[in-house]
Amino acid sequence: MAEPHLADSGLIEDRLKKMVVEALRLKMDPASIDSEAPLFGEGLGLDSIDALELIVAIEKNFGVALDNQSEGERVLRSIRTLAEFLKDRGKG
């Protein structure tokens, strides 16, 4: 039986926001991150080094690896797309 927190994307998003802030050592409140804002460029303004650190943090915290670059580009668009990916994989 699935754990209750898996069904709630909002809880997954909150956990991801906290993970992003901690993994990248951002000086901001995780709650201030808009779930639909782009993670790269405008939005949080992350770069390719941040992407690598995020991928490592996702693997460490959720036990999920991104299979290839195109999947990474699709999944790492926003907190929301990342949460949906994890929910689809049954992680969270």
Written as tens digits, the pLDDT of the chain (92 aa) is: 344 444 467 899 999 999 999 999 999 999 999 999 999 988 899 999 999 999 999 999 999 998 888 899 999 999 999 999 999 888 76
Report the sign of the C-alpha dihedral through residues 63, 74, 16, 57, in that order: positive
Which CATH number is 74's domain given? 1.10.1200.10
* Count of structural domains, the chain: 1
Provide the pLDDT for residue 92: 62
| Cβ 80 vs Cβ 74: under 8 Å | no
Note down the domain range covering 75: 4-26+34-88
- Residue 35 in contact with residue 83, Cβ under 8 Å? yes
pTM of the model: 0.85
